[in-house]
Amino acid sequence: MNSIATRMMLEKGVEIVGAVARSEAKVGRDLGEVAGLGRELGVVVSDDAAEVFRRTSPDVAVVAINSYLEDAIDQLRICAAEGVNVVTLSEEMLYPWETSPELAEELDLAAKRSGATLTGTGYQDTYWVNMIGLLMGTAHRIDSVSGRASWNVDDFGPELARDQQVGATEAEFQEWLENAQRPPTFGRNVLDALVADTGLTPTSIKTTTRPDIASSATFSQALQTEVPAGHVIGMTDVDEICTAEGPRFVFEMSGRVYSEGDGDINEWAIAGEPDVVLSNGTVPTQLTTCTQLVNRIPDVINAPAGLVTVDKLPRLRYRARPLHEYLA
């Protein structure tokens, strides 16, 4: 993700003044080399974010490290303390107010104190929040909002494949599920954002999970192993929020090893007056994660200080010109 975003930023006229990584394999090397650009950028990867921030005074930090706020908090704390705006791919940062309220409030206060804006964006910005918020805006009455999405476990490396229980038997999956201490799903953050966008009052929140079972032997690229028929190739989390006013929000997210012909889907249906639907065919999730991370940069620099979620930002726009031309 960082490699793709680096190329896209350069193509949009962004001057990259620093780069930070944790891995010894990256620190000390030129960013252009680390990002596979085939040329040097004159930017050496550092392992000291605070030092880089003080030396370069960047307009924004692009942070793509972790998914959960608990894991991302150390890096975000440094950005907030140093007054550096952030766009991050941390999925929980999409809308962390309900799932990590204390960390969200701490970051919000720190960012307001230093004048920084912190925003979680990525694929879900448009495809799961703002486009669905817009679709909801074309309804007179909403009874329910239902979304279905999928992602390919093989796109995200072996660690996530193991997290998704790829290769387990159904019995192993059920045993794991019963004892699993899983953090809230990212679907939960999506629904939290959508419910907040409507101003409705959540009354109950639940997540149920079912295994996705291989109907025939399926090779997992991420694990470099074949999953036998009848074994687990991933799972589907179903998040559901009911509201005091009536409307119900449901999001089914399936993360599994794809077979030939499978692709990421994004399908939403609103039942009410009138019924309306939306589909994005086969979505290029990885690329649109990076495009939104980059295209959001001017909005985040322009936004007021604090933890500002994407539902509060202006409607995302195509950036035909260098990004700095969109700064207020």
- Least spacing, CB of residue 60 vs its own copies, in Å: 17
Report the residue number, 66 or 285, with the smaller CB distance to its own copies: 285
Member of 21, 73, 116, 142 binding its own copies (CB under 8 A): 142
**Range 231-260, binding its own copies (CB under 8 A):** 245, 247
Report the residue number, 104 or 294, with the smaller CB distance to its own copies: 294
| 31 scored as a contact of its own copies (CB under 8 A) | no
The residues, ordered by sequence, that sit 6+ positions from 161 with a Cβ below 8 Å of its Cβ are 153, 154, 220, 222, 223, 257
| 46 scored as a contact of its own copies (CB under 8 A) | no
The residues, ordered by sequence, that sit 6+ positions from 23 with a Cβ below 8 Å of its Cβ are none
- Least spacing, CB of residue 98 vs its own copies, in Å: 18
**Are the C-beta atoms of 223 and 197 separated by less than 8 Å?**
no
- Least spacing, CB of residue 37 vs its own copies, in Å: 15
**Are the C-beta atoms of 139 and 326 separated by less than 8 Å?**
no
Stretches 20-28, 30-38, 128-136, 251-259: which one binds its own copies (CB under 8 A)? Answer: 128-136
| 11 scored as a contact of its own copies (CB under 8 A) | yes
**Are the C-beta atoms of 31 and 16 separated by less than 8 Å?**
yes
| 218 scored as a contact of its own copies (CB under 8 A) | no
Q: Which amino acid, residue 171? A: A
- Least spacing, CB of residue 206 vs its own copies, in Å: 22
Please list, residue by residue across 154-176, b when 16 or more beta carbons sit within 10 angstroms of its beta carbon and e when fewer do.
bbbebebbeebbbbbeeeebeee
Please list, residue by residue across 58-81, b when 16 or more beta carbons sit within 10 angstroms of its beta carbon and e when fewer do.
bbbbbbbbbbbbeebbebbebbbe
Calculate the CA 241 to chain-centre distance.
20
| 134 scored as a contact of its own copies (CB under 8 A) | yes
- Give the position of tokens 């085939």: 38
Member of 198, 209, 221, 302 binding its own copies (CB under 8 A): 198
| 197 scored as a contact of its own copies (CB under 8 A) | yes
HEC profile for 238-249? EEEEEECCCCEE
Report the residue number, 182 or 315, with the smaller CB distance to its own copies: 315
| 91 scored as a contact of its own copies (CB under 8 A) | no
| 85 scored as a contact of its own copies (CB under 8 A) | no
**Rounded to whole angstroms, how far apart are CA atoms 288 and 92?**
18
The residues, ordered by sequence, that sit 6+ positions from 281 with a Cβ below 8 Å of its Cβ are 265
Report the residue number, 32 or 247, with the smaller CB distance to its own copies: 247
| 8 scored as a contact of its own copies (CB under 8 A) | yes
- Residue count at the site for its own copies (CB under 8 A)? 48
The DSSP secondary-structure symbol of 44 reads B
- Least spacing, CB of residue 112 vs its own copies, in Å: 22
Binding mask 264-283 for its own copies (x = CB under 8 A): ---------xxxxxxxxx-x
Member of 6, 150, 165, 295 binding its own copies (CB under 8 A): 295
- Give the position of tokens 């499978």: 262
Which positions lie near its own copies, rule CB under 8 A? 8, 11-12, 126-127, 130-131, 133-142, 197-200, 245, 247, 273-281, 283-284, 287-288, 290-292, 294-295, 314-318, 320-321
